[in-house]
Amino acid sequence: MLTRRVIPCFDVANGRVVKGVSFVALRDAGDPVELAAQYDRDGADELVFLDITASSEGRASVYDMIARTADQVFIPLTVGGGVRSVQDMRQMLAVGADKVSVNTAAVEQPELVNEGAYRFGSQCIVVAIDAKRTVPRADGAARWEVYLHGGRTPTGFDAIAWAREAVARGAGELLVTSMDTDGHQDGYDLDLLCAVRAAVDVPIVASGGAGTPQHLVDALVEGGSDAVLAASIFHFGTYTIGSIKEYLAAHGVPVRPVRGADA
Amino acid sequence: MTVDVVIVDYGAGNLRSVARAVAHAGVEALVTADPRAVEAARAVVMPGVGAAADTMANLRAAGLVEPVREYIASGRPFLGVCMGLQALFDVSEEGGEHACLGVVPGRVVRFPQGLTVPHMGWNTVKLRRPHPVFEGVAQGSYFYFVHSYYPRPADDGTVAGETEYGGARFASVVARGNLVATQFHPEKSGADGLRVYANFVRLALVQGTLEPAALAAPLGS
């Protein structure tokens, strides 16, 4: 049976992991290769690197970082942040990313999704959608607006309509982040996940709001997501991936057992 | 001794991942589109992502169709991955009806409507029979999949492993003699995937000591 994926997400800048990571055993908690290997051993199903580097010199170090990580970690790697062209996608894939995630650029130039899917296959084009609740429809149904630039810029676009369009253009997966719940560790926006689930038939990765293992169960069962992305819950060492997977399994969610735990 | 492992480069992605996985098994593979390298190889890996029509167009443009067919017919070790499995069949229905290599009888078809597609993530493989490439891999091990089409072999005897998705089983491992192909990506499947590559490289080492005439025998069917 296809298992649901648990995906830790790292913010990286200039080739280093920058946001609160607390693996005490690590020699260098900022080293993406060491962290990736640790999460792999711990049972992560994929890894997402979100590049928040501003400078172009920094970009080169990200390519190097992906290459070094892919040399040693044999699970899927997704890289997002600052991908603005087919050339960017090509370079990310060439150095070892398995999927590239596009957000702002996909909204500003939607043909990028078509072209990326055409050149490299839908399976490696992830469209990331940052959605924020807005005025409900006349019948009371919830609505969400697409935000860009890390949640700073409203677009006026309906998030569900954009999800549908992104898939029609060739996105093979959607990474759906709720701007309302992100960072609060108070649970994912399940209404948003359900609305996207009803709109598209590609895999959905839920993001924004994980604080407890039950939040992940909710996103996967009630929200109908195929995967859950989280940062703080793992990085602050509150829960290991292994303990979360045990919790998911105990609550009827099919997961890939952590190696060693089942051997 | 040297083992010449060739990774067929026909413009598809994830070659580097495959090369890394082979390197992890202790062998530097040659990544090339040169048909002569395929002809001379002792082991060939054909990876691949993307669409069937592009794959075949690229193989044709590189002059690789006949060399790959002849290589496989010679009985030397061959590992197809994902699109590298699908390309082995007679026909793929991806984006129409496209003739493929015709090395393994059967068709490649789309998952039915109503399922989440691509089939993406870790799923189990039930091995139907032992194969040297899966030595040491436990029954029901997890591998990473990402695909929207799946193979439907005409000859049930070529199905070496199966995977369940959406309530139906499909052939996730196809094997015939030294020809093995997986719908999943062993190079992205952690330790079990690396074991598949290590076994494949070892198979090439063992087989490489044999005469080509002896190698052709198991494929006679």
The residue ranges of every structural domain in chain B are: 3-207
Q: CB contacts < 8 Å between A and B, how many?
A: 93
Q: Which helix (H) or strand (E) holds A78?
A: strand A77-80
Q: Pick the residue from chain B with its C-alpha nearest to A116.
A: B50
Write down the pLDDT at residue A130: 96
CB within 8 Å: B187 and A74: yes
Partner-chain residue, chosen from B117, B119, B190, that has the shortest CB–CB distance to A74: B190
Write down the pLDDT at residue A128: 97
Cα distances from A60 to residues A30, A57, A113, A142, B136, in angstroms, run 17, 6, 23, 41, 40
Q: Is the CA virtual torsion A105, A111, A112, A113 positive or negative? A: positive
Hey, what are A33's tokens? 């290769």
- Has residue A261 got a pLDDT over 70? no
Determine the average pLDDT of the residues in A36-60.
85
Cα distances from A245 to residues A42, A91, A186, in angstroms, run 10, 33, 19
Chain A touched by B139 (CB under 8 Å): no
Cis peptide before B118 (omega within 30 of 0): yes
Is B82 designated active site? yes
Q: What is the pLDDT of residues A188-228, one digit of tens each?
A: 999 999 999 999 999 999 999 999 999 999 999 999 999 99
Is B185 designated active site? yes
Determine the average pLDDT of the residues in A133-143.
94
- Has residue A28 got a pLDDT over 80? no
CB within 8 Å: B120 and A173: yes
Write down the pLDDT at residue B124: 98
Residue A81 distance to chain B (closest CA, Å):
20
CB within 8 Å: B148 and A122: yes
Write down the pLDDT at residue B213: 39
Please list every residue in chain A whose beta carbon sits closer than 8 Å to the beta carbon of residue B118: 122-123, 172-173, 202-203
Write down the pLDDT at residue B162: 98
Chain B touched by A202 (CB under 8 Å): yes
Please list every residue in chain B whose beta carbon sits closer than 8 Å to the beta carbon of residue A123: 49, 118, 120, 146-148
Write down the pLDDT at residue B12: 67
Please list every residue in chain B whose beta carbon sits closer than 8 Å to the beta carbon of residue A193: none
Determine the average pLDDT of the residues in A225-232.
92
Q: Among residues of chain A, what percentage have pLDDT more than 70?
A: 92
Q: How sure is the predictor about A25, in pLDDT bands with cuts at 50, 70 and 90? A: low
Q: How sure is the predictor about A174, in pLDDT bands with cuts at 50, 70 and 90? A: very high
- Has residue A24 got a pLDDT over 60? no
Distance, CA of A134 to CA of A178 (rounded, Å): 12
Q: How sure is the predictor about A19, in pLDDT bands with cuts at 50, 70 and 90? A: low
Predicted ipTM of the assembly: 0.93
Q: Which helix (H) or strand (E) holds B31?
A: strand B30-32
- Has residue A262 got a pLDDT over 70? no
Note whether B95 and B52 are within 8 A (CB).
yes
Q: Which stretches in chain B have pLDDT values below 70? A: 1-3, 12-13, 208-221
Note whether A51 and A77 are within 8 A (CB).
no
Note whether B41 and B76 are within 8 A (CB).
yes
Q: What is the pLDDT of residues A36-46, one digit of tens each?
A: 998 999 999 99
Q: Which fold has domain B3-207?
A: Rossmann fold (3.40.50)
